[in-house]
Amino acid sequence: MAFDLGAVVPLGTTVTDESGTPANAGSMAVTITLPDRTTVTIDPVTPTGTGVYAYDYPTVQAGRHSVRWVATGIHAGAYTDAFDVREAAPPTILSLREAKQHLKIPLTETTDDDEIRDWNEACTRAVERFVGPVAIRTVTEDVRFTSGRALILTRTPAIELTSAVALVAGGTTYDVADLHLDGHTGIVTRADGGILYGPLRFTYVVGRTFVPANLRGAARIILQHLWRTRQGPGRPQRGVDDFDVTEPLPGLGFAIPNRAVQLLDPDGLGPEVG
């Protein structure tokens, strides 16, 4: 389960003696390594009960965090864990409300909300594997070419160029107003027809300003299929029926129902340009 950026993550560990009974350590410290590799260390951490140590960490960065508890002195030991933090605007095709409605889960029932959000993000990634970016977001890409009248960005559809900055000292940085972007193909050219000189780091906006019904429908089918699989045969299904997956997909196996792929086909990515 991922946490929202800005949320407080409850961290904790328990120390035991040789018999497995909770017991205080001589001293306890916890170090959190953030996605940018900086660290936050709390030393010492005071036990909240016999052998029980806790720390509430307020998140400030999106990405994977690692947590390491180290006990020294009596009952010395160590424990390592990790947690993920979503970006401020995680890309999803369906809202939580849409997802719960499709799964026939009452909006007032919030027990499974965190897990539904995780599956919802997974469904978005699955859809985008076939059709390119759907949820609007900003991406950065390094294009390592020397020179030419055109270059190709790999994340399409692209909506808008934000910046085009030289990657090497003395290189040419371009004003995006002087560039032309073909959003469908990702081809970038100079508006005056001149030569582009690289390598360049592009920041640009990708996604779709309107999500077609077939893409939303495919996301619902994938979500419903994965949610049904997650519940298992022995658990109540809330009226959610599974879909047959009769043909495995290269690289995906049976994770994506065939009917979802058929819905995605009209918007599928064409052959690579290059």
In tens, the pLDDT along 60-74 reads 999 999 999 999 999
Fold of the CATH domain 8-85: Immunoglobulin-like (2.60.40)
- pLDDT digits 0-9 by tens, 89-111: 899 999 999 999 999 999 999 99
pLDDT on residue 272: 39
Mean of pLDDT values over 186-210: 96
Q: Which residue has the higher pLDDT, 42 or 249?
A: 42
Nearest to 71, CA basis, from 21, 12, 19, 20? 12
Give pLDDT tens digits for 260-273.
Answer: 988 999 998 654 33
- CA dihedral for 136, 141, 145, 147, sign (positive or negative): positive
pLDDT for the residue 50: 98
- What does the pLDDT read at residue 273? 34
The crossing angle, in degrees rounded to 10, of helices 213-231 and 113-131 is 130
Domain ranges of the chain: 8-85, 96-133+210-266, 137-206
Contact status, residue 19 vs residue 2, Cβ threshold 8 Å: no
Q: pTM for this one?
A: 0.79
Tens digits of residue pLDDT in 134-185: 999 999 999 999 899 999 999 999 999 999 999 999 999 999 999 999 999 9
Residue 86 banded pLDDT, cuts 50, 70, 90: very high
- Residue pLDDT, tens place only, 209-262: 999 999 999 999 999 988 886 665 544 555 444 445 555 555 555 678 888 988
